[in-house]
């Protein structure tokens, strides 16, 4: 699985996990079946396990928004991108931002990408 596809599948998995009682393993099986990829699993498990810290970090960067008021797509993409920026090494920040914007174009609306870019750009300041 290529990294872009892994990010798409991870976004779908994390979207499904938001406000459900499902475990990450159940959600991953639902999205990809038995086909696993280490990068995909790390994104899902890491984002899920570090959600409280990630949410705290996001709250400090949001202006005129609360995390709970964000549309689910943007909230999920932001969580995953912040996990990748803060907890994973090896992927340049520009790549993470570009991938997050692409995910918003795929799963969000026409303003999602600009909003996510604005929030994530605060991580490189």
- Which element (helix H / strand E) includes 39? helix 38-49
| Domain tally, the chain | 1
The conformational region for residue 66 under phi > 0 = left, psi -120 to 50 = alpha, else beta, is beta
pLDDT of residue 19: 78
The closest alpha carbon to 100, from 108, 41, 88, belongs to 108
Residue 101 pLDDT exceeds 90: yes
pTM here? 0.93
Which residue range is the domain that position 33 belongs to?
A: 3-124
Phi, psi of 106, deg, nearest 5:
-75, -45
Structure token pair of residue 72:
């689910």
CATH code at position 63: 1.10.940.10
Averaged pLDDT score across all residues of the chain: 93
């Amino acid at each position: 699985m290529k990294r872009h596809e892994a990010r798409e599948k991870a976004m779908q998995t994390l979207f499904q996990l938001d406000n459900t009682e499902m475990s990450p393993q159940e959600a991953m099986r639902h999205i990809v079946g038995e086909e696993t990829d280490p990068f995909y699993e790390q994104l899902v498990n890491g984002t899920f396990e570090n959600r409280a810290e990630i949410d705290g970090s996001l709250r400090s960067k949001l202006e005129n928004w609360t995390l709970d008021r964000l549309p689910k797509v943007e909230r999920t993409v932001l969580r995953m991108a912040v996990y990748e920026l803060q907890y994973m090494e090896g992927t340049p920040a520009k790549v993470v931002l570009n991938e997050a914007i692409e995910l918003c174009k795929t799963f969000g609306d026409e303003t999602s990408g600009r909003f996510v870019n604005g929030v994530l750009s605060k991580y490189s300041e």
